[in-house]
A and B are shown apart, each in its own frame.
Chain A
Amino acid sequence: MSDHITEIVVFTVLFLLVSGMGFVAAKWRAPQDMAHLDEWGLGGRSFGGWITWFLVGGDLYTAYTFVAVPALMFGAGAAGFFAVPYTVVIYPLFFLVLIRLWSVSHRHGFVTPADFVRTRYDSPTLALLIAITGIVATMPYIALQLVGIEAVLKTMGVTGDSPLARHAPIIIAFAILAAYTYQSGLRAPALIAFVKDTLVYIVIAVAVIYLPYKLGGWGAIFDAADAKFTASPAPGDGIILNANNQVQYFTLALGSALALFLYPHSITGVLASRNRGVIKRNMSALPAYSFLLGLIALLGFMAIAAGVKPLPGAKAGSVDSNTVVPLLFDMKFPAWFAGVAFAAIGIGALVPAAIMSIAAANLFTRNIYKEYLKRDATPAQEASVAKITSLVVKIGAVAFIVFLDPQFSIDLQLIGGVIILQTGPSVVLGLYGRWLHRGALIAGWAAGMLLAFWMLWQIPNAATKRAHFGGSAFPLSEFGLDSSKTIYVGFVAVLVNLAVAVLATWWLRVMKVAPGVDGTTPDDYFADEGDPRIEREKAAAVDTVSST
């Protein structure tokens, strides 16, 4: 029997409470008819300021962030703090760019970024590439949420010897998640996000006041981290950056910000908002979460000061650094409060996992099923395909964790971030103009992908002794440059992608290859709630239905 019984009870009770909310969410703000993708997959496009705040916040700051960012700080120091500039840079970008995507999607009824690309460039092929990239990048991200829950369960001693026994709690948790997402769609994570954030705020507020007090103040915490990194032989660590990883730091922050807002689940959160004002207001308020993230990151240094020793990893001799934050809570807090903290991390995994599986399901339904399998699918058929796809996606994510080494999911997520960036030229530049040719965008996508995989293949991982896919920091010396600096792979790949797209556009124009017909008008990019044209079309749609 485990000696963490109080923690387990608190964790389980909170977890079940939230699951109950997930099922009830179907009735929350729901219309008469849930059998429509707009309702199931976008919450009726009706969310106001507060819900969007919790939904997008719950979407961008995941359980994996809570365990992995401090783990990175614990292991590498300052380099892990990139998460702070990354989440500062992202909001002005959202503010300028995604607002246009909201407008054009609102007017045309787009549910996914690939829907937009399809209409803008008149290219089902390009849309298919964007959709597949989105689904492939999202799957390991969902799996990582399970890594977050697993770190907590491991700390509470809920583990078994056989792979199946070890993963049983996660399988149960995900089965519950799958059931209520199936029923309630995007309304479930939107409602649960309130609880998740309340718990996270309480835990962090207590942690950043109580722990420094116990550990001798912030000065002592930073000194302990400094002492550890000075003593360690690793070249890249320290409490500030060194000459070699500054380029990596800012390219990773910028690249991650661009990647994050191209991820299908962030776009789902934004498209579910009621109007442009809701999005703009949120972009000025959401950075409050970045403050939280910065404090969470510093838990990694507190773990150093407290002398936390991470639990062993899946392979003999390795350590699972994702367990440092749960261990810190377990060590320094009374059992009941540690239980609350663990529940915050566990529930923090459910919100994004639900949104991500919905986003992946929307992509499959709109850009593969409706495009290639059943052109005349009704809205009700679309909704039911999306519901089933969301189940398949979650089963896939669980399979990742159960049958593969979790380290593999972390590597895959790294690749996911880099490949989702390759959809940037089509989606982002498409919102501003249509100069780039659809064929050239496909060529750029392919070039960016190839280069990204080649670069990631070259990077070994010192900690896990793997020869490939060991990180995102590419040594510039590999390009033949006389330098010991490193740079973020995704940043280089997307620049090459863009360069190829520009050159190929020029060539395709010279060859007079047809660019396709733009299905949008300039005015679409500024449409807002209550747009007269949309109201007219709604009325027209009702007439058509009643006359057939």
Chain B
Amino acid sequence: MAEPKSPPPRTDSSPWNWLLLVPIVVPLLTPLYNHVEPRLAGFPLFYWLQLALILLGVGTTTLVYQMTKRKRVDRP
């Protein structure tokens, strides 16, 4: 495949990127998790919910990565 002479201007902006605000903002909302009850397996809410927010972070970044991946296979 030959490279076109003048490729269209590239960009990495995508509406999907806005989704990344979720794992940036939600873990900073202390009123959301600053409680002892309900406990889960002995863990107060403060601890288990913040650990669960890690999964939110992983899930969101993975989703955005998959949706914004360049659509061509560039490795032989």
Contact = CB atoms under 8 A, between A and B. Distances in A.
A526 B20 CA distance: 19
Given A218-B41, A218-B43, A239-B36, A85 B50 contact: yes
Interface stretch (A188-196, A278-286, A472-480): A278-286
B46 A81 contact: yes
| B interface secondary structure, majority | helix
Contacts of B39: 219
B23 A88 contact: yes
B42 A218 contact: yes
Contacts of B61: 91-92, 95, 283-284, 287
B74 A88 contact: no
A433 interface: no
Contacts of A99: 12
Interface string B2-46: 010000011110000100110110011111001110010111101
Interface residues of B, number: 41
Given A89-B27, A93-B24, A288 B58 contact: yes
B36 A240 contact: yes
A353 interface: no
A100 interface: yes
Given A88-B27, A220-B42, A526 B62 contact: no
A285 B58 contact: yes
A530 interface: yes
A267 B51 CA distance: 26
- Interface centre among A219, A280, A287, by most chain B C-beta atoms within 10 angstroms, is A287
A253 B50 CA distance: 12
B65 A254 contact: no
Contacts of B24: 89, 92-93
Contacts of A294: 47, 50-51, 54
Interface in A244-296: 246, 249-250, 253-254, 277, 280-281, 283-285, 287-288, 290-291, 294
A52 B37 CA distance: 39
A91 B30 contact: no
Interface string A286-314: 01101100100010000000000000000
A161 interface: no
B65 A241 contact: no
B30 A250 contact: yes
A92 B44 contact: no
Given A92-B20, A250-B30, A287-B61, A523 B9 contact: yes
A490 B68 CA distance: 33
Contact of A287 (B3, B12, B20, B54): B54
Nearest to A240: B46
A222 B54 contact: no
A525 B62 CA distance: 22
Contact of A85 (B12, B53, B64, B74): B53
A522 interface: yes
Given A95-B20, A280-B65, A290 B54 contact: yes
Contact of B50 (A84, A95, A239, A532): A84
A526 B36 CA distance: 46
B76 to A, nearest CB: 10
B51 A85 contact: no
Nearest to B25: A89
Contacts of A217: 42
Interface in A458-517: none
Nearest to A78: B46
A239 B28 CA distance: 18
A96 interface: yes
Contact of A221 (B11, B12, B29, B42): B42
A85 B28 contact: yes
A92 B58 contact: no
Nearest to B68: A280
Nearest to B64: A95
A1 B70 CA distance: 62
B65 A253 contact: no
B69 interface: yes
Nearest to A84: B50
B57 A92 contact: yes
B12 A100 contact: yes
Given A84-B54, A92-B20, A290-B57, A219 B42 contact: yes
A221 B43 CA distance: 9
Given A218-B43, A287-B57, A530 B65 contact: no
A253 B28 contact: yes
Contacts of B11: 526
Interface of A: 78, 81, 84-85, 88-89, 91-93, 95-96, 99-100, 217-222, 239-241, 246, 249-250, 253-254, 277, 280-281, 283-285, 287-288, 290-291, 294, 298, 522-523, 525-526, 528-530, 532
8 contacts: A88-B54, A89-B24, A91-B23, A219-B42, A240-B44, A246-B31, A249-B30, A280-B65
| A-B pairs, 4 with minimum CB distance | A218-B42, A219-B42, A85-B27, A284-B61
Given A88-B57, A294-B51, 4 more contacts: A85-B28, A239-B46, A254-B28, A280-B68
